[in-house]
Structure 1
């Protein structure tokens, strides 16, 4: 069974060396797993027995389209009113535990690798009825309507039910598990899983308009971010603004996998500060 990285509990010992890998620049941020400790968590209205690591949020001049949380829902915790903002869509991805997601009265038992898309205006609840904590990612974005396109429906699946699609001419060394058809223009964001086998790489510096959140689920690699090569490992989060050059080399010994957010399929705004809804 696939295991997914999650934040560490507690604090480092007082004898720990301070040197770390956390960095925030004009083009990217790296939040290593070692700094995602209990002391930096938040509690949110409408949620019980749940704490949140807020690892991305819209910031003027940086990434402006999305927020991303890591949640730990303790036994008997959860929410009947999870989404506070009208017009927001969301994706849930479970890394540990077996929470229950209810969408419009239909109950969906989730397990590690579980994935749910929640369109704007959808009534949903999330509870943890088990004796073990449940841990998951929650990506949120204001949905951007487009002429002639309906809002996509909710769906629930698991990455174990899907086959990664190899990128062209890579012989499977670089593959993407896609939860949404890239030609389905109803969707204005994709949250996928990218997998590199040892020795796999992005052989050029991707430089594009899409913003990214990359949470490393498994393995380690060196990642090119703007001008810098950065070592990353399971549990690290990379946060990239638009046009930040990026590349990757996965050195092994096992696969390198990350959960990837990107905004897609919409025209650039020509009025206002840029983010939809402002």
Structure 2
């Protein structure tokens, strides 16, 4: 029997005055954990050019930490939206909807994205968003400066959904660890991947991954324990983990249901060691 995925969406609000302030938020030189209890009304930001919208900015480039991407949770009230969400011509993005229905227009083609809806929005593409329903819509918006490569055509925008892409089991795991890949990992046109990783209860990453890719990990569903730079950190649906390059990482799923997270990583580009005249290199090092 098929199972309907769940996608955690922050409700906002404020805790009562009787609640203890102790929480699981932590910032280190190698990683940051922003637990769901931090995503309150008081830490939201308004975005220029957006109507009836608020956002939680989970990640942005920081010198000495992660530098390749920004990640936001955007909440649009009925009647809100933006005619030109992305104002930087060289920036690509991914939108992943967790609640409500997002009206997305990409180059004149209208799409309705419900929970699990996914859109890749190429750098320079014309697109707009609106909430035409009666309930709030919430989505993740991951942004990255696209790094073009001579001889490789840049990727084009597309729309799909979690339900339309089958998870691929990792080799030798009997399906305990699987990845929903929205783009072909061998396609060098793409310099970032935003995937969904799923673990069955008890499934694990059984080694400490230590690599050049930066990560944003938002837990969509379930619970798990993450090993981050030598620390064991318990996480649950609604928590966000932000990892700099080479932060050792591993995990296991706690159960009783699947442990799933939305994962960003920068890929498929040579490391830039020189800067262009008069400017900074568009590289993973910022």
Taking structure 1 as the reference length, what is the TM-score of the superposition?
0.98
Of 1, 7, 13, which aligns to 2:16? 13
2:79 is the counterpart of 1:94: no
How many Å apart are 1:275 and its aligned residue?
4.7
Cα RMSD after superposing both structures: 1.1
2:5 is the counterpart of 1:2: yes
Does the 8 Å CA contact 1:192/1:261 hold for their aligned counterparts? yes
1:39 and 1:112 map into 2 onto residues whose CA distance is 25
How many Å apart are 1:276 and its aligned residue?
3.3
Aligned match of 2:86: 83
How many residue pairs get matched? Answer: 278
Does the 8 Å CA contact 1:96/1:136 hold for their aligned counterparts? yes
1:95-114 residue pairs with structure 2 within 5 A? 95-114=98-117
2:48 is the counterpart of 1:45: yes
2:58 and 2:136 map into 1 onto residues whose CA distance is 20
2:270 is the counterpart of 1:263: no
2:29 is the counterpart of 1:22: no
Does the 8 Å CA contact 2:145/2:282 hold for their aligned counterparts? no
Aligned match of 2:227: 224
Aligned match of 1:203: 206
How many Å apart are 1:274 and its aligned residue?
6.1
Q: How big is each residue's C-alpha offset from its partner over 1:148-186, in whole Å with a ceiling of 9 and x where there is no partner?
A: 111111100011011100000000000000000000100
1:32-71 residue pairs with structure 2 within 5 A? 32-71=35-74
Does the 8 Å CA contact 1:64/1:275 hold for their aligned counterparts? no
Task: Give unmatched runs, 5+ long, in structure 2.
Answer: none
How many Å apart are 1:8 and its aligned residue?
2.7
Task: Give unmatched runs, 5+ long, in structure 1.
Answer: none
User: Runs of at least 4 residues of structure 1 off by over 3 A?
Assistant: 272-278
Task: Give the 3-state SS of the residue equivalent to 2:77 in structure 1.
Answer: strand
Task: Give the 3-state SS of the residue equivalent to 1:39 in structure 2.
Answer: helix
2:52 and 2:13 map into 1 onto residues whose CA distance is 17
1:244 and 1:29 map into 2 onto residues whose CA distance is 11
Does the 8 Å CA contact 2:147/2:282 hold for their aligned counterparts? no
Aligned match of 1:191: 194
1:56 and 1:35 map into 2 onto residues whose CA distance is 14
